[in-house]
Amino acid sequence: MLLAVLAGLIVSILYIPLGKYLRGRLAVLAALLPIGLFAYFASFIPTIQAGQHVHFHHPWVPSLGINLDFHLDGLSLLFSLLITGIGSLVFLYTASYLKGHRYLDKFYGYLCLFMASMLGVVLSDNVLLLFIFWELTSISSFFLIGFNNDDAASRKSSIIALCITMGGGFFLMVGLILMGHLSGNYSIQEMMSTNEYLKSHALYGLILLLVFIGAFTKSAQFPFHFWLPGAMRAPTPVSAYLHSATMVKAGIYLLARLQPVLGGTDYWMYPLIVVGGITMVYSAFHSIFRTDLKSILAYSTIAALGMLVFLIGIGTAESLLAASVFILVHALYKASLFLTAGVIDHETGTRDITQLSGLRKVLMPVSIAGILAALSSAGLPFTFGFIGKDLIYEATLHTAGILTAILTGLAVLTNILLLCAGFLAGIRPFTGKLPDRFHGIHLPHGLLWGAPLLLAVLGVVFGCAPFLVDGILFNPAAEAMYQSAIDSPLKIWHGFNLVLLLSGITLVVGTLLYVVRKPSAASLAAIERYNYLSPKHIIGQLARYARKISIYYTGTLHNGYLRVYLLRIIITTVLLFAIRLFMGGPIRLSIDHLSPISIYEVVVAAILIAAVYITVTASSRLTVVVATSVLGYCVCLLFVFYSAPDLAMTQFSIDTLTVVLFVLVLFRLPPFLNFANRRTRIRDGVVASAFGLMIALVAIQVLNQPIDTEVSQFYGDNAYTLAKGRNVVNVILVDFRGLDTMFEIVVLSIAAIGVVSLLKLRLKASEKE
């Protein structure tokens, strides 16, 4: 199982060195991988049908709780077969579609990487492992969307798609980690046993929100849906494979998988119904206005995804069964429609449906594929779509109370619109008159039309004989979501009842709509006038605002001025202290323990204040330097008063040196410019006072602290006994802290050398002048 998941990864790595041999005729060989994997997963069908599950465990990073746990049950099997089955056809199709392309090998490499990660997503039992694969699908999708990389729009849409899906992925990661923390382990199967605890926990709502964001971004739900139409710039096989059949269903898969863990509450149900409902109606409505084939398909895909979310939200056995059937129904007809669109694009060079018509005359097998697929999407009897649609109506009709009418109404409306969209994409290009310029078209290589035709025919086969698949695929899949046995074989004929009536209404109204509405550029332009209301536009606008804020912020706050930076640091520090003081209760400042103030101190303080005033107001640098030196000397005096002559000495020499340095440097500075205006002065004054006040408060608090007198006691006691000196201060300076003194002298000497070199520098400069 591990090998099966990682095979794609290994092959994609092998493509780096070996790719150049596989660009030509051998390219078809790439399809062997998905075909082989399809056969491998198909071999599990009997086991799953018997109600057993397959579990594989390989330890990987046990310390972080990430293990290679794979779990295969009905749901995983359905998805695995879908991924490998459609993958096989897409691989074959690509060999012909991109024949002779320079980077065909790279393309296959990305496709293999994608397939491996998608298989990883649907098979992982460990949520973190699931997340890792989940992000890898986004990465491979990024490279595939950007594959036509000469196109600026293509680059842009690839990065939008990546940002949305990966950003959503990070939210999902947090949600999954939270789930893991609360339930004590990261295995989904184990989480099911603690689901009651999870659902009753206070963080349940948040977990749901995070998981929903992850699933909605990936599965292109409103309001994150807009990346999907943009992603259609990718080559058509990619659109068919990633952006309709598999990758965008990863979000659906996740919801289906977590349904037994998190589901069953109102918080789970209503958001899903609402978001799914809005998405399906909104984008189904949009799909019929498009004129670009792939755009139509993109919007109808979003609508189908919305439908799936909606069905999972309802959460009854019927709706889950309907969801699992609809996954396959949709994958079959939508992939087929995409691949036919690819052929049309490949052969005619346009995807504009206002220009395409009558192609059945030149592309007969393709037109059969397109029409069959369109009929299946319409839900005509004896197609698979019919069964899917019946199940959906049955599911909505069996909901309780007022919901029945609303939900059924929504489903009918969506289906009508989808039918019309399906006809536009699958029937319109082939009917009518063939324009002259398309006469020269020949039927392409068999691989190109064989793949969509096979998918479309399968849709009819399953539609006529649902018993081929129901027991082996859908019932186990729905059971995995519902966690109890479901046994309702799919039927082609339910008898005359409300469901049939609704199906009939859908068909008739949808066909009428198709006949009446002619797609035109004008109506597209009309609807695009409302684009400013669309989420894409709003989010784009938000991004622009963020950009503006960011530019403004960078320009004003990171303006490169040191003084501004310092100001901010001071303000922050003062704020921190203010908050601390505020939180720490009343400030106790007592001056009881302090010594009385003498006249000397008063005088020195007065000089200090005068010096500060001069420093702030002076207009010449020299005055400022002198005034600051006065400040320094005053501090020296204070040290002397409080019997700290050593400190006073140090301070004195340093101050002198500083003044000398200052004066020397002053000569070399440009003239004094005063940048400050009144406002900045006041601001600086306020900030400086606040900072000073803060330091003062701290200092006074320090004084209130009981002083540990052991140190001075020690020196007093031991000055004579240890150092044979009577003057304690001297002994401290030259003996106890002799090394300190020595280094102070060294520092002063170095500073003196600096002074000398400055003096010399000045001389040289004057010589030059």
User: Given the rule CB under 8 A, which residues bind other proteins?
Assistant: 60-64, 128, 131-133, 135-136, 139, 142-143, 146, 149-150, 154-155, 158-159, 162-163, 166-167, 170-171, 173-174, 177-178, 180-181, 203, 206, 210, 546-547, 549-551, 553-554, 557-558, 560, 562, 564-566, 568-569, 572-573, 576-577, 580, 584, 698, 701-702, 705, 708
Q: How far is the CB of 130 from other proteins (least distance, A)?
A: 11
Nearer to other proteins, 136 or 188 (CB): 136
- The one-letter code for the residue type at 536 is K
Q: How far is the CB of 183 from other proteins (least distance, A)?
A: 13
Classify burial at 383, counting beta carbons within 10 Å of its beta carbon; exposed 0-12, middle 13-18, buried 19 or more.
Answer: buried
Nearer to other proteins, 285 or 691 (CB): 691
CA 371 vs. chain centroid, Å, equals 39
Q: How far is the CB of 252 from other proteins (least distance, A)?
A: 21
Q: How far is the CB of 145 from other proteins (least distance, A)?
A: 10
Report how far apart, in Å, the C-alpha atoms of 184 and of each of 71, 187, 191 are. Answer: 19, 9, 8
Q: What share of the chain is helix, strand, coil (3-state, %, to 5)?
A: 75, 5, 20
DSSP letter (8 states) at residue 591: -
Q: How far is the CB of 636 from other proteins (least distance, A)?
A: 20
Going by C-beta distance under 8 Å and a sequence separation of 6 or more, which residues neighbour residue 502?
A: 393, 408, 412
Nearer to other proteins, 163 or 608 (CB): 163
Q: How far is the CB of 724 from other proteins (least distance, A)?
A: 25
DSSP 329-374: HHHHHHHHHHHHHHHHHHHHS--BTTT---GGGT-HHHHHHHHHHH
Q: How far is the CB of 94 from other proteins (least distance, A)?
A: 20
**Interhelix angle 32-42/74-97, nearest 10 degrees:** 160
Nearer to other proteins, 517 or 563 (CB): 563
Rounded to whole angstroms, how far apart are CA atoms 98 and 49? Answer: 39
Rounded to whole angstroms, how far apart are CA atoms 284 and 282? Answer: 6
Q: How far is the CB of 171 from other proteins (least distance, A)?
A: 5
Q: How far is the CB of 691 from other proteins (least distance, A)?
A: 12
Nearer to other proteins, 138 or 219 (CB): 138
Cis peptide before 59 (omega within 30 of 0): no
- Of 86, 89, 247, nearest to 164 (Cα)? 247
Q: How far is the CB of 739 from other proteins (least distance, A)?
A: 14
Cβ 127 vs Cβ 135: under 8 Å: no
Query: Is the CA virtual torsion 72, 78, 81, 82 positive or negative?
Result: negative
Q: How far is the CB of 627 from other proteins (least distance, A)?
A: 21
CA distance between the termini of the chain: 84
Nearer to other proteins, 139 or 647 (CB): 139
Longest dimension (CA), the chain: 120
Nearer to other proteins, 524 or 747 (CB): 747
- Of 679, 662, 675, nearest to 563 (Cα)? 675
Name beta bridge partners: 71: 55
Rounded to whole angstroms, how far apart are CA atoms 120 and 80? Answer: 9
Q: How far is the CB of 106 from other proteins (least distance, A)?
A: 10
Rounded to whole angstroms, how far apart are CA atoms 740 and 742? Answer: 5
Nearer to other proteins, 270 or 553 (CB): 553
Nearer to other proteins, 67 or 475 (CB): 67
Nearer to other proteins, 509 or 697 (CB): 697
Nearer to other proteins, 361 or 558 (CB): 558
**What per-residue string of b and e applies to 324-359 under the rule 16 or more CB within 10 Å gives b?**
bbbbbbbbbbbbbbbbbbbbbbebbebbebeebbbb
**What per-residue string of b and e applies to 93-106 under the rule 16 or more CB within 10 Å gives b?**
bbbbbbbeeeebbb
Q: How far is the CB of 557 from other proteins (least distance, A)?
A: 8
Q: How far is the CB of 625 from other proteins (least distance, A)?
A: 18
Phi and psi (nearest 5°) for 116? -60, -45
Nearer to other proteins, 60 or 267 (CB): 60
Nearer to other proteins, 43 or 63 (CB): 63
Going by C-beta distance under 8 Å and a sequence separation of 6 or more, which residues neighbour residue 350?
A: 356
Nearer to other proteins, 149 or 617 (CB): 149
Q: How far is the CB of 214 from other proteins (least distance, A)?
A: 10
Rounded to whole angstroms, how far apart are CA atoms 406 and 408? Answer: 6
DSSP letter (8 states) at residue 384: H
Nearer to other proteins, 63 or 766 (CB): 63
Nearer to other proteins, 181 or 491 (CB): 181
Helix (H) or strand (E) holding 58: strand 54-61
Q: How far is the CB of 202 from other proteins (least distance, A)?
A: 10
Phi and psi (nearest 5°) for 68? -85, 75
Rounded to whole angstroms, how far apart are CA atoms 136 and 413? Answer: 36
Report how far apart, in Å, the C-alpha atoms of 260 and of each of 196, 277, 320, 479, 691 are. Answer: 10, 22, 12, 10, 59
Report how far apart, in Å, the C-alpha atoms of 265 and of each of 72, 200, 271, 597 are. Answer: 26, 10, 11, 74
